[in-house]
Amino acid sequence: MNERRSPPNRELLVDGTAIDAAVNRAAREAVLAHARAGNPVATCRNGKVEWVQPEEILAEFDPPSAKQK
């Protein structure tokens, strides 16, 4: 059987790149899901908390092919 093996946990923790990428993907998907549901998202801009409207989030994060539909 040809199984794909993950690197040992120690390697993942030392390098951190795979963990960072996974966290970034998860955060992006969470923000997009929130925006697609029509909800604004709180963020910090210039030291102040601001609400970002779903339209602005989707325009920034959705892939171009999704915008053209």
Highest mean pLDDT among 1-5, 8-12, 18-22, 60-64: 18-22
Given pLDDT bands bounded at 50, 70 and 90, which one contains residue 51? very high
Q: Distance from first CA to last CA of the chain, Å, rounded?
A: 42
What is the CB-side half-sphere exposure of residue 11 using CA atoms within 13 A? 5
pTM over 0.75: no
Concatenated DSSP letters of the chain: -----PPPHHHHHHH-HHHHHHHHHHHHHHHHHHHHTT--EEEEETTEEEEEPHHHHHHHHS-HHHHT-
Q: Where are the domains of the chain?
A: 9-67
pLDDT, tens digit (0-9, with 9 covering 90-100), for 9-38: 777 677 778 888 889 999 999 999 999 999
